[in-house]
């Protein structure tokens, strides 16, 4: 029997919570068979930026962040852009090379494709809000490290709180897994409408993945049609 297996139920619970906290910080989540539900964070942010009530104020307060090592390698901080009162948010993973140069999200080739994706379901780019989980570019576009995501994610949570969208579309597996605190595959995440802090959330392919593999455009289109239908349903229900 391995030494680290706990026999006492209290010790077992403490061990599970410790692992959960190491992985996800103070964010608690539950998961259902048909949809996953992320509950309100219990994190009580005491830092100054947490008092921001507008996106501009938040940007001003966090744009010089050096909380993780990406702060020292970025050219520009990439807050996000779009309508501060957007009904719909598109959330990717991290800035790439062009985004790092311009300080804007999704402005490279993948960004041009994202604009087409947004327009394909009858939104205009300027009426939605686009951002990433990480605000600084990982060198050479490597995958974000768990500690970088955990350190930066509260900024995204604050953006979502201020914007208060009706719907979120996560672009790619890492975005979906991070927001939903899930280890499920992209295929599985795509099959459900999730709830993130009371906001409906769907997951689809990242535009950069579609550039690498055009065969994923068809399933992405199916996701987008569902996303638009969900939005229309919600708008009609609120009339
Ligand atoms: S990635 Fe996020 S946490 Fe890291 S330095 Fe940039 S803004 Fe700060």
Q: Which residue has the tokens 């966090």?
A: 62
72-86 pLDDT per residue, tens: 999 999 999 999 999
What residues contact residue 137 under an 8 Å CB cut-off, 6+ apart?
70, 73, 74, 75, 78, 94, 95, 96, 97, 99, 100
Give the pLDDT confidence score for residue 87 in this predicted structure.
97
**CATH annotation of 44-237:** 3.40.470.10
Counting atoms of ligand 1 from 1, which one is nearest the CA of 151? 3
Distance 174 CA to ligand 1 centre (A): 17
Quote the mean pLDDT of the chain: 86
Q: Does position 32 have pLDDT exceeding 70, yes or no?
A: no
Residues 127, 130: Cα–Cα separation, whole Å: 10
Give the pLDDT confidence score for residue 37 in this predicted structure.
57
Give the dihedral sign, CA 49/166/188/113: negative
Q: Does position 128 have pLDDT exceeding 50, yes or no?
A: yes
Give the pLDDT confidence score for residue 22 in this predicted structure.
38
33-61 pLDDT per residue, tens: 334 555 444 445 678 999 999 999 999 99
Give the pLDDT confidence score for residue 38 in this predicted structure.
54
Mutation test residue for ligand 1: of 50, 63, 66, the one with most atoms within 8 Å of CB: 66
What's the rounded mean pLDDT across residues 129-138?
A: 98
pLDDT interval class at 13 (50, 70, 90): very low
């Amino acid at each position: 029997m391995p030494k680290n297996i706990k026999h006492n139920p209290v010790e077992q619970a403490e061990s599970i919570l410790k692992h959960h906290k190491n992985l996800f910080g103070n964010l608690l989540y539950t998961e259902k068979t048909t949809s996953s539900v992320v509950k309100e964070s219990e994190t009580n942010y005491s830092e100054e930026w947490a008092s921001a009530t507008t996106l501009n104020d938040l940007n001003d307060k966090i744009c010089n962040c050096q909380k993780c090592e990406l702060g020292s390698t970025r050219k520009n901080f990439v807050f996000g852009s779009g309508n501060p009162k957007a009904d719909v948010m598109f959330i990717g993973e991290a800035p790439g090379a062009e985004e790092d140069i311009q300080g804007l999200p999704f402005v490279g080739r993948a960004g041009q494709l994202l604009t087409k994706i947004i327009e394909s379901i009858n939104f205009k780019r300027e009426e939605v809000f686009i951002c990433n989980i990480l605000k600084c570019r990982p060198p050479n576009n490597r995958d974000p490290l768990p500690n970088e995501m955990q350190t930066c994610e509260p900024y995204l949570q604050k953006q979502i709180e201020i914007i208060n969208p009706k719907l979120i579309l996560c672009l790619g597996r890492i975005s979906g897994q991070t927001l939903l605190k899930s280890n499920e595959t992209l295929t599985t995440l795509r099959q459900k409408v999730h709830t993130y802090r009371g906001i409906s959330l769907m997951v689809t392919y990242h535009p950069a993945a579609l550039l690498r593999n055009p065969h994923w455009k068809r399933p992405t289109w199916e996701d987008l049609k569902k996303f638009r239908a969900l939005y229309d349903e919600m708008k009609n229900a609120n009339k």
